[in-house]
Amino acid sequence: MRIIKYMFHAYKTCFNLLRGCSSFSNFRPWLKLSTSKVVVHAPWDQLDVDISCLIFQCLDLEDRVRFNLVCKQWKKNTEPTSQPLWLMLPYEPNNKYLSFFDICDGKVHKLNLPQSVQGGWFCGCSKGWLFLALGTTLRNLRIFLFDPISRAQIPLPSLSMISSFEDCLTGSRFKWNPAAYIIDSIEPSSSDASQCIVAATFCEKNTGLALCRLGDERWTIVEGLLAEGYRYGGIIFFDGELYASVISLDEENNNNQAPFQFHSITIGNQRVHLKLIYSTHPPPSLFYANGVLTYTKNCSRCSCLVESNGQLLMVTQTWDAICTLVDEEEEGDDGLLVYIQAATFQVFKIKTTEDTMCITRLTGLGNQSLFLGTGDCRVLENPNKFGKNCIHFLQVFDYRSDKRCPLVCREAGVYHLDDGSIKRCFPSIKTKSSSSMHWFSPNF
């Protein structure tokens, strides 16, 4: 009803503008004569582009969503020139809505959740999809693709059919959703559900890769591609192929493997080309100890793959760690608390052919800013708003302890590539569940 009101307002505005013209009196006789004739209006789905945009600009977020769901032509007429980037804020399982901070407009958007997805855990997002997990045990765990704009829900195959999870997690008691202990990363090939293939890597050992098409009953498990001592890092579908970074768990392993491998995977009647990229050699670790407190420089490392203006980038991040023994009074024994701190970032440009790969380290990003973390990693160019030659990073967690909760996130911030400085500009956020912030690009 509100859209119809804005349409009427737009037509009325055009009429008033015409009436204000000095030549309007010349048209009055024509207008009176035309009232006795049959006026043929254009089909409603072929609304003029200028009028569509005028109406669209007057609508709030909720009505813009409804406007774009009317038909494909209306959505095409109002497609933004650039994809918006939102920061998905932490949530509680009993929330009836999700909150997103629009980094471009500086506004917070709240999208109501259907009752069928309330109480779930969102384990990531990409290409306009959120990955939703429902269930309290491995056997009743269900995974969905969920679009918060259209509210479409598409089920993925059950993880309980993967035998390795059944063996290691049977009888486990979960403080959070069981998917938090299973899924490491998940990535769809497309925002179009009819053409989408989903790839996933898992926390348990993290040496297996799983793929499925929407509608498949089982995951296609790909094992045996990684040698001992290696694990998967980031995954991304780029230029019609699946890329996966591979990280060494041992500083000396990287010298023993070829930096690039190509594999072909069959899923039903489709073939997926998989390219494995072995990450660069890690910096040496430095260890310091002082009683119950230990400090490790370059203790851990991860890598992320990002698309930037038709190019593939790989970003490696290293962490420092502070470990200390803490007294767990409720449990009656001591526990190990590991605090993780972001240290350095490096950016590489990846260029591959069928059997070769070239890795070039970039000294900077120019006027661009890279938004890195779980979800839709993006590169944006707006130095006045986001700065330049920097990385806006989200830390999933800051400390590891099986017995301590809630998690405290305060490591998210901005890393400046020119001098290596870090500005931690995000506030500390306490969460009662395994909820974290994600970068998200909605499908309008």
Domain boundary among 40, 55, 76: 76
User: pLDDT at residue 12 above 50?
Assistant: no
In a shared domain, residues 336 and 419: yes
In a shared domain, residues 29 and 152: no
In a shared domain, residues 6 and 124: no
pLDDT at 330: 47
pLDDT at 306: 93
pTM for this entry: 0.79
Across 68-77, 326-335, 431-440, least confident range = 326-335
In a shared domain, residues 244 and 170: yes
Sequential DSSP letters for 326-364: EEETTTTEEEEEEEEEEEEEEEEEEEE-SS-EEEEEES-
Domain boundary among 49, 76, 103: 76
User: pLDDT at residue 335 above 70?
Assistant: no
User: pLDDT at residue 274 above 80?
Assistant: yes
Q: If residue 64 lies in a helix (H) or strand (E), which one and from where to where?
A: helix 61-68
Across 7-16, 214-223, 283-292, 316-325, least confident range = 7-16
In a shared domain, residues 46 and 135: no
What distance in Å separates the CA atoms of residue 420 and residue 416, rounded to the nearest whole number? 5
pLDDT tens digit sequence for 381-414: 887 888 899 999 987 654 444 444 444 555 678 9
In a shared domain, residues 68 and 87: no
In a shared domain, residues 67 and 115: no
In a shared domain, residues 255 and 404: yes
In a shared domain, residues 231 and 292: yes
Q: For residue 278, list its beta bridge partners.
A: 246
Number of structural domains, the chain?
2
What distance in Å separates the CA atoms of residue 109 and residue 121, rounded to the nearest whole number? 19
What distance in Å separates the CA atoms of residue 303 and residue 345, rounded to the nearest whole number? 9
In a shared domain, residues 349 and 314: yes
In a shared domain, residues 68 and 175: no
- What confidence tier does 26 reach under pLDDT thresholds 50, 70, 90? very low
pLDDT tens digit sequence for 49-101: 777 777 777 776 667 777 777 777 777 776 665 678 898 887 777 788 998 98
| Residue bearing tokens 């760690």 | 321
Q: Which domain holds residue 366?
A: 80-440
Domain boundary among 76, 99, 122: 76
In a shared domain, residues 57 and 110: no
